[in-house]
Amino acid sequence: GQQLNQSPQSMFIQEGEDVSMNCTSSSIFNTWLWYKQDPGEGPVLLIALYKAGELTSNGRLTAQFGITRKDSFLNISASIPSDVGIYFCAGPPQGGSEKLVFGKGTKLTVNP
């Protein structure tokens, strides 16, 4: 089946640093979603991207839908301790939108 590859698997950064993570696929996705999961909680939708080349911001978060529709990037600027968590990319596979495919996540640790 279709897979989403996220990198890096984990990140350890200092408070105030910028963060960049990405998600790639061997096949085309028409929608890219980015979720954040706080420790011990369920994932929450951060940003949704629906158009190739689209760049969307939500506060300190910026995400981009790759022009090839096979990748997406999430950037976090000026990280703070509450940014800690696991970030997942997800999307409905082309030709079948009833289930999302999820990446394995990027675990972010922010040192104060």
The binding site for other proteins (CB under 8 A) comprises 9, 30-31, 33, 35, 40-45, 48, 50, 88, 90-92, 97-100, 102-105
Least Å from the CB of residue 111 to other proteins: 21
Query: Minimal distance in Å, beta carbon 78 to other proteins?
Result: 26
* Residue number, 24 or 31, with CB nearest to other proteins: 31
Could you tell me if 75 and 61 are in contact, meaning their C-beta atoms sit under 8 angstroms apart? yes
Residue with Cβ nearer other proteins (76 or 89): 89
Interatomic CA distance for residues 41 and 25, integer angstroms? 27
Nearer to other proteins, 26 or 98 (CB): 98
Q: Which string of DSSP letters, residue by residue, matches 26-42?
A: SS-BS-EEEEEE-TTS-
Q: Least separation, in Å, of the C-beta of 33 and other proteins?
A: 5
Q: What angle do CA 73, 106, 85 make, to 5 degrees?
A: 110
